[in-house]
Amino acid sequence: MKKKKQFATEPPTVAELGEKKANLLIQELWEKLREYEDRLALSSRNSSKSPSSDSPADKAERKKLKRLVVEIRLALNLDIRGIKDH
C-alpha cells in the first residue's frame, strides 16, 4: 500500500492568503512545530513511557547532551571567575 503524500500541493503565498491570514497560519504552524518538538523530547524520564521504550540512540544522545551542559556550565563558571578577578 502506497503512503499518501501529506504535502502534495505547494504552500499558499502571502499574496494569496493576505497578511493577516498568513500571520495566523504561521502562528498555528509554529505552535504545531513546538508540540512536535515536545513530543520528540519525551523519554521514560519525563513521561509515563517505560524505560524499555527508549532506544540506545536516545540514551546516547541524552548522555552527550548532559556532558555538553556540564562543559558549558564549567566554561561559563571559569569566564565569570575571570571577570570578577579583574
Q: What are the boundaries of each domain within the chain?
A: 11-48, 51-85
Q: Residue 61's closest CA among 36, 43, 38, 37?
A: 43
pTM for the predicted model, two decimal places: 0.46
- Distance separating alpha carbons of residues 67 and 61, to the nearest angstrom: 10
Angle at 17 between CA 13 and CA 20, to 5 degrees: 115
In the chain (86 residues long), the average pLDDT of successive 10-residue segments reads 66 87 88 81 75 80 79 69 51
- Distance separating alpha carbons of residues 16 and 86, to the nearest angstrom: 58
Residue 74, all three cell numbers:
564549567
